[in-house]
Structure 1
Amino acid sequence: MTRSIPLGVYAPLPAFFNDQDETDVAKPGVVPVVSATMGEAAHLDFQERIQLIQALRSALNENGLHGTPIIAGVGATSTRETISLAKDAAAAGAEFVLVIAPSYYASTLKANPTAIKRFFIDVASKSPVPVVIYNFPMVAGGIDLSSDDVVDIARAAPNICGIMLSCGNIGKVSRITSLLDGSFKILAGFIDFLLPAVSIGSAGAISPLPNIAPEFAMELWRATQSLDSATDWSKARRLQEIASLAEAELLKGGVAGLKYLLHHRFGYSATPRLPLQPLSEDTVAYLSNNTFLKNLMAMS
């Protein structure tokens, strides 16, 4: 079974059942991710997760994007349910699954790191498609895999092909890439450290920013792949600065903020799933008039 995930930029799509947004993001080369944090995975029921994958696969195929892979979040509170979701996601058209640590008993699991490792190894052994670990302590009850944990899991589970580091720890990128072979890929969990991450071995980034600026995101990615001269570095740094400033503002609005910006730009629903609430008028005004976001979208 292949372990290789594509190099590049990934976008966690919001939970829309709308073909156009999905293909607008994917056509420039961005890899779509469904049922992740910004995709409101915690508020989707089982059938919705599968329907989103099916709708995305159908939309990609209809637009000639047969070779564009789908990464599907299959996070759940138990090993059994995570494995079940991974199998159903694969059957629905996902080529890879994104697995976050179960957080309901986070304090117990943090006290026993072996249990966390066992969780990922067990899921990978039963998943019909390669697994990407999703390390995001903020939404996983504080569970934060160390670089040693990641190396141990990867060596014990050949079906694990990479990790998304939303912990923001750039040192982990360096340590993991130095200890594992090139088939294991590391994705920065935010685009705001794509350039430094790529310089020490990262294969790309997963970020909400490509949802609103896919062409710009791919321009930044291409710039990080051509760093042969001082001019190349200067261009990449300039684009990275724009991305970093804009992503920081985008993240202030959370899921509701991303949905609002997509509504403002493309006309999609701006309403997040309950119990999340729509943005306040003050936050709407802030995002609408934000200089960094305006500069970003003017370049897309």
Structure 2
Amino acid sequence: MSPSAISRPFTDGAYCPLVTPFKPDTEEVDYDALRSQVVRLANARMGIVVLGTNGEASHLSDTERAGVIRATRQALDSNGHTHIPILAGTGTGSAKETIRLTIEARDAGADYAIIIPPGYFSFAVGRDLPSLKKFFLQVLDASPLPVMIYNFPLNIASGAASGIDFDSDFVIDLAEHQNCFGVKLTCASIGKGQRIAIHTQSAAYKERHPRPFFIMPGYSDILLPALIARASGCITGTGNVIPKTIVKLYDTAVSALATGNAEQLEAARELQDLVAEADWAIVKAGIGGTKYAMDTYVQEGLGGVPRTPLPHASPAIKTMLASGLKRGLAYENSL
């Protein structure tokens, strides 16, 4: 099958899965706050991902999903960022509904889809690799958008896919499909990413595929070592709070690896130390804590509240964030 047509190229770099801000009194989507965050991240040169785990996609209606994408595209286009693509989460419980959501995402303005495996029936399909492969192949065949595989097994952040964890062999098989353009590895396995990269960055693979395959760790605390291991960048929720710092880390690391400059490599390592602290704080804080950090340390109302039943930040989380984000925020505010 030939790959889906694309209008805006996906590129290497640091990407942020945006939170979806909800109004405190009604829990309705705050589209004004969303647009502000989109522009803020785009101005920081961070890539845009919507309707992912951080975006509480499972809490949104189909109409709201489309509304988030349309608002994001409008914010980008009206602020001089017409070239920036939108990567939108469209995965749900069945292949049929995932395909429908992907078509609707395309119609609303998304350029690419990121799709998580169906976690609700993980007790039935979680270790049934043929069934999971059938799911993705069916989606890849029908999707009007290029698809990124989203690997998110159970960990401290959440169990978005109910423990389903793909190994490198599984991802490499899917990477041979012409409509599969990348993988997000929120399993934090650098070795897995490197094995996938060995395959997808080979001359033989490139001869078979007209566009690159992107390997994106789901955390920024491993960005430097992941780049050394052939990763393409990262997709990090911590970008909601310190986007300029993470982009600076990415730029410094890429330059150091390209030139072999020891001073730049040391600068990248020092930035990675700082980002690792902040990333861990955000992971422990969860979605409610991330939204609190945005409202408290970035701009009031930017993050909003989570939808019930996700918890708001507790006093302990707030105290932890004040300490865990201190160095990161100081550096962010200096840029």
Alignment partner, residue 24 of structure 2: none
Residue identity in the other structure for 2:196: I
Contact 1:33 1:71 in 2 (8 A): yes
Alignment partner, residue 307 of structure 2: 273
Which of residues 225, 228, 231 in structure 1 aligns to 2:254? Answer: 225
Return the offset for 1:278: 1.2
- Per-residue CA deviation, residues 185-223 of structure 1 (Å, 9 max, x unaligned), is 100110111111111210010001111111111101101
- Aligned ranges for residues 13-162 of structure 1 at < 5 Å? 13-16=18-21, 17=31, 18=33, 19-138=35-154, 139-155=160-176, 157-162=177-182
Return the offset for 1:2: 5.6
- Per-residue CA deviation, residues 118-143 of structure 1 (Å, 9 max, x unaligned), is 11111111111100000001221111
Contact 1:71 1:96 in 2 (8 A): yes
Alignment partner, residue 280 of structure 2: 248
- Are residue 204 (structure 1) and residue 233 (structure 2) matched? yes
- Per-residue CA deviation, residues 75-100 of structure 1 (Å, 9 max, x unaligned), is 10010010001111011111100100
Q: Pick closer, same or farther for the CA change 1:2–1:165 going to 2, 3 Å.
A: farther
Determine the C-alpha separation between the residues in 2 that align with 1:272 and 1:111: 32
Give the TM-score of the pair, scaled to structure 2. Answer: 0.86
Residue identity in the other structure for 1:199: I
SS at match of 2:240: helix
| Structure 2 residue runs without a partner (length 5+) | 22-30, 155-159, 207-211
Contact 2:217 2:234 in 1 (8 A): yes
Contact 2:15 2:236 in 1 (8 A): yes
Determine the C-alpha separation between the residues in 1 that align with 2:311 and 2:277: 25
Q: Pick closer, same or farther for the CA change 1:111–1:200 going to 2, 3 Å.
A: closer
- Are residue 261 (structure 1) and residue 266 (structure 2) matched? no
Return the offset for 1:277: 1.8
Contact 1:132 1:164 in 2 (8 A): yes
Return the offset for 1:281: 2.2
Alignment partner, residue 179 of structure 1: 199
Determine the C-alpha separation between the residues in 2 that align with 1:146 and 1:111: 11
Determine the C-alpha separation between the residues in 1 that align with 2:304 and 2:10: 31
Larger CA deviation: 253-262 vs 210-219? 210-219
Contact 1:5 1:161 in 2 (8 A): no
Which of residues 10, 15, 21 in structure 2 aligns to 1:10? Answer: 15
Alignment length (residue pairs)? 297
Alignment partner, residue 188 of structure 2: 168
The runs of at least 4 consecutive aligned structure 1 residues that moved more than 6 Å come to none
Return the offset for 1:71: 0.5
Contact 1:270 1:278 in 2 (8 A): no
